[in-house]
Amino acid sequence: MRSTGSWYDLRAADGHLWRARLKGKFKLEGRKVTNPIAVGDRVVWQEEDRTENSAMITDILPRHNYIERQSVHKTAHAHVLAANVDQAVLIVTLTFPRTSMGFIDRFLVVAESFRIPTVIVFNKQDIIPDEFKEVQDQVIELYQSIGYQCLKTSATEGEGSQVFADLLTGKVSVLAGHSGVGKSSLVNAVAPDLLLRTNEVSTFANKGVHTTTFAEMFELNATTFIIDSPGIKELGLTDIGQAEIGHCFPEFRALLNECRFHNCQHINEPGCAVKASVEAGEIGMSRYESYLSMMGGQDNRK
């Protein structure tokens, strides 16, 4: 349910919560990750001390998916935000703080690499300036045309709260986004009993203040769980090869068999169906620019 370093909150099948620690050290197939166990992992465990409510984790069961970000402490390492999820919910704000298109596209690529369905929630509708509303509608239209469900919400005014609650029902969902976009406030709006901590956005540089320190899973009911994750500053593609990136863009994936070359990278090759669609306005230019940035390894993570 939660990882706070060397200790983990473990939920047993009967719903009882234990304080657990790892038996020895675990390595995940040689991958460089900062956390061997992530929220959402299924583990093998044994009772250690009932009076202390402590347990020992002896093994980690294989994951069927996971979401990760670049570690903020260790270069070239990843930090797994959540594992074994049914969907990802990306909370974004176009202003205060600003979520860039590049960041949205990187998150979608990470989710697509494991075919994790993603919903994009545009929060803070109550404070979005009028001059940004048309831009926001164009952004929403772009992502909806690709196949992503988009939702407008206001945690403070209650706009979209019921739809937000409905999309969580019966699933394990990981909530992600920059600090300050209102993840915890949205959860509080649909599950006020949780009383998640919130904070104001810093006026300095228009950036969010970290409120959630550790990823944590919350049980809304017997079939509905949410994982509230810390705000993401950078989202590197730590475990996705260049050859896979194009497959993680749904609108590119639909055209892969139409390119002249089977290994087309959609950059300089002749007979590229993706480039032709970009030039025809059928694929969004911002999406293609995000793709080029990822392929070139440029630092466009924020």
pLDDT in tens, the chain (302 residues): 676 667 889 999 888 899 998 887 665 555 677 788 889 999 999 999 888 899 999 999 999 999 887 766 666 677 888 999 999 999 999 888 999 999 999 999 999 998 999 999 999 999 999 989 999 999 999 999 999 999 999 988 999 999 999 999 999 999 999 989 998 889 888 888 876 655 444 333 334 333 445 788 998 888 999 998 877 766 667 678 889 999 999 999 999 899 999 999 999 999 999 999 999 999 999 999 999 999 985 434 44
Q: Which residues of the chain does CATH 3.40.50.300 include?
A: 66-228
State the helix-helix crossing angle for 183-190 and 161-168, rounded to 10 degrees: 90
pLDDT, position 236 = 67
The DSSP call for residue 255 is T
Q: Which CATH architecture has domain 242-296?
A: Orthogonal Bundle (1.10)
The pLDDT, as a whole number, for residue 29 is 55
3-state secondary structure 103-155: HHHHHHHHHHCCCCCEEEEECCCCCCCHHHHHHHHHHHHHHHHHCCEEEECEC
Length of the chain: 302
3-state DSSP assignment of residue 165: helix
- What is the per-residue pLDDT for 208? 38
Element containing residue 289 per DSSP (H, E):
helix 285-296
The pLDDT value recorded for residue 125 is: 95
Range list for CATH 2.40.50 in the chain = 2-60
With residue 156 as reference, give the H or E element that holds it. Answer: none
Give residue for tokens 């945690």: 155
Note the pLDDT of residue 51: 84
* CATH match for 2-60 among 2.40.50, 3.40.50, 2.60.120, 3.40.720: 2.40.50
Kindly state which CATH superfamily the domain 66-228 is placed in.
P-loop containing nucleotide triphosphate hydrolases (3.40.50.300)
Contact 211, 197 (CB under 8 A): yes
CA 277 to each of CA 102, 236, 260, 269, 289: distance values in angstroms, whole numbers, following the listed order:
20, 27, 14, 14, 13
Q: Strand, coil or helix: what is 189? A: helix
d(CA 145, CA 148) in angstroms, rounded, equals: 7
Assess contact for 178 and 99: CB atoms under 8 A. Answer: yes
**pTM score over 0.85:** yes
Specify the residue for token string 């293609």: 288
CATH 1.10.40.50 in the chain, residue ranges:
242-296
